[in-house]
């Protein structure tokens, strides 16, 4: 069997996650990949990619073949770092099962929904100073503040320290245009959170950090114990990092997508019951994490081609979300869309733990924005996409308010 995929034609399809020109609008390339090279191989960076909904739905949850134990970001898989214990999003069973159970026991949808009014109050404090100014930056004025504020509430981190934490998370994910991310193993061990964890160990409170310090669980050896300090640090780092980055990107896409579709924006402003469906459609249409990587543990045949063990596979969730075999007229934004659920939060045992919180924040943000600013126009000359190979969103998104 072949181990290299030929896209065919005199102008073969090409996908490079580090090329800014492709990243600005990846969807025409994704469409070609679905049609011409559903199993794609990039020789330069030595990775495979799946782009069709059906293929990703079939293979994404197969942890026997597609492993998370070397990370879910291409650069980390290539470096083959030792993943610290407690980095549950980058582990396979049985460790993943053990740690995921610990987190799901405290990071519950009910706890997330109980935050709703606090999220609303925080959102109002961010937006109210912008009323009457004629301008709003969806990132600087809200996206850079709200997610960190909410995660800070959950973890018990003081307001004045949250900007520093977000800055560190952003720096860890940023890439230089045209180049892979420079990865550092130490940045995922919870460095920078030591003082908070040590303080909470001596001063318990009603927050997730205290719960992580106090929870008892049965580990993979059958031993009942508490998390070690190092494990708590890694858990806190995962929760703080994931909650900041992805929700900030979602808020940016609310501004951009609804700015590009004013008629649908006005429908939502007039009928707030459309907000939940609108958030789901934005998550489908512009997912903040366009791809997820896996390490291939065993040889696997896909579309008649051999993907050898040791390879890296990219699952292009953003492509699957627009696959017209599952989403009729999938390139069109439609808040009234019915049918298949999107792929944005993943599938299987690694489905996004923070999806309930992201939805709460996204819905509240949209409601509060539209209450104050039912009309806006994106300032395209000053809007800037962020440079990251693992997420896709706006670094700045200023808009004009009439």
Q: What is the pLDDT, as a whole number, of residue 167? A: 62
Q: Is the pLDDT of residue 317 over 80?
A: yes
Give tens-digit pLDDT for 293-316. 999 999 999 999 999 999 999 999
Q: Is the pLDDT of residue 8 over 90?
A: no
Mean pLDDT value across residues 351-380: 94
Mean pLDDT value across residues 9-16: 82
Residue with more model confidence, 327 or 79: 327
Average pLDDT, the chain: 89
Q: Is the pLDDT of residue 9 over 60?
A: no
Q: Is the pLDDT of residue 227 over 60?
A: yes
Mean pLDDT value across residues 96-113: 84
Mean pLDDT value across residues 228-246: 85
Q: Kindly report the three-state secondary structure assignment for every residue of 288-356.
A: CCCCEEEEECCCEEECCEEECCCCEEEECHHHHCCCCCCCCCCCCCCCCCCCCCCCCCCCHHHCCCCHH
Mean pLDDT value across residues 40-44: 96
Give tens-digit pLDDT for 45-59. 999 999 999 999 999
CB-based contact 376:137 (threshold 8 Å): no
Give me the residue label for tokens 């509060």: 368
Q: Is the pLDDT of residue 6 over 50?
A: no
Q: Is the pLDDT of residue 261 over 90?
A: yes
Walk me through the domains of the chain, giving residue ranges and CATH numbers.
Answer: 20-400 (1.10.630.10)
CB-based contact 126:146 (threshold 8 Å): yes
| DSSP 3-state of 39 | strand
Residue with more model confidence, 357 or 320: 320
Cβ-based neighbour number of residue 47 at 10 Å? 21
pTM of the model as a whole: 0.90
In 3D, which of 272, 267, 191, 274 has the Cα closest to residue 229? Answer: 191
Residue with more model confidence, 242 or 123: 123
Residue with more model confidence, 391 or 14: 14
Mean pLDDT value across residues 140-160: 87
Token pair for residue 299?
């040889």
């Amino acid at each position: 069997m072949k181990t290299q995929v030929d896209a065919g034609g005199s102008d073969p399809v090409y996908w490079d996650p580090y090329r800014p020109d492709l990243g600005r609008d990846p969807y025409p390339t994704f469409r070609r990949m679905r049609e011409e090279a559903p199993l794609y191989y990039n020789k330069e960076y030595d990775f495979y990619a799946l782009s069709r909904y059906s293929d990703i739905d079939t293979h994404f949850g197969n942890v026997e073949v597609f492993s998370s134990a070397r990370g879910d970001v291409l650069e980390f898989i290539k470096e083959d770092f030792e993943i610290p214990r407690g980095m549950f999003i980058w582990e396979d069973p049985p460790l993943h099962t053990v740690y995921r159970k610990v987190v799901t026991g405290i990071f519950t949808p009910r706890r997330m929904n109980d935050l709703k009014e606090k999220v609303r109050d925080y959102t109002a404090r961010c937006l109210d100073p912008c009323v009457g100014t004629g301008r709003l930056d969806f990132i600087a004025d809200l996206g850079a503040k709200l997610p960190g504020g909410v995660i800070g509430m959950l973890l018990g981190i003081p307001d004045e320290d949250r900007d520093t934490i977000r800055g560190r998370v952003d720096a860890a994910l940023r890439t230089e245009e045209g180049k892979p991310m420079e990865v550092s193993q130490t940045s995922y061990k919870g460095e920078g959170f030591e003082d908070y964890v040590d303080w909470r160990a001596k001063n318990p409170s009603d927050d997730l950090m205290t719960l992580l310090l106090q929870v008892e669980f049965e580990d993979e050896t059958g031993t009942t114990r508490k998390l070690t300090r190092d494990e708590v640090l890694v858990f806190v780092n995962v929760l703080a990092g994931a909650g900041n980055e992805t929700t900030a990107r979602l808020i940016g896409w609310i501004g951009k997508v609804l700015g590009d579709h004013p008629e649908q924006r006005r429908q939502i402003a007039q009928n707030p019951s459309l907000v939940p469906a609108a958030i789901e459609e934005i998550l489908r249409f512009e997912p903040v994490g366009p791809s997820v990587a896996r390490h291939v543990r065993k040889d696997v045949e896909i579309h008649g081609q051999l993907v050898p063990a040791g390879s890296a596979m990219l699952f292009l969730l953003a492509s699957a979300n627009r696959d017209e075999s599952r989403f009729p007229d999938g390139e069109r934004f439609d808040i009234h869309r019915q049918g298949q659920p999107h792929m944005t939060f993943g599938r299987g045992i690694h489905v996004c733990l923070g999806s309930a919180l992201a939805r709460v924040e996204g819905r509240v943000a949209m409601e509060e924005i539209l209450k104050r600013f039912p009309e806006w126009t994106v300032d395209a000359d000053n809007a800037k996409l962020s440079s990251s190979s693992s997420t896709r969103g706006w670094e700045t998104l200023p808009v004009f308010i009439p």
